[in-house]
């Protein structure tokens, strides 16, 4: 280490945690549910897939409920 490096104050390396990890993450705001207009924290494609999956799960539960009701 040279004399200049030893006497200089801590130089920022571009990372807030000083470990070299990326500090580009955006903070999540709790209390806000994803909507079609703002699907954050999901991309539009991910949000659409989640809605499709939710619909399939609801449909399968309705079907199993109907089948159990007719069998009894």
Give the pLDDT of the chain (72 residues) as one tens digit per residue.
555 555 555 555 555 566 656 666 666 667 777 777 777 778 888 889 999 999 999 888 876 776 676 666
CA distance 14 to 24: 11
What is the three-class DSSP state of 63? helix
Determine the structural domain holding residue 51 and report its residue range.
46-72
In this prediction the pTM is: 0.41
> Does residue 61 lie within any of the structural domains?
yes
Question: For residue 21, what are the contacts with CB-CB under 8 A and spacing of at least 6?
Answer: 15
* CB-facing half-sphere around the CA of 53: CA atoms within 13 A: 6
Count of structural domains within the chain: 1
CA distance 39 to 3: 53
CA distance 26 to 22: 11
């Amino acid at each position: 280490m040279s004399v200049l490096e030893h006497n200089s104050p801590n130089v920022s390396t571009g990372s807030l945690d000083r470990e070299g990890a990326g500090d580009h993450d955006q903070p999540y705001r709790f209390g806000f549910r994803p909507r079609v207009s703002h699907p954050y924290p999901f991309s539009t494609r991910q949000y659409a897939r989640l809605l499709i999956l939710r619909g399939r799960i609801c449909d399968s539960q309705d079907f199993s409920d109907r089948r159990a009701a007719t069998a009894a």
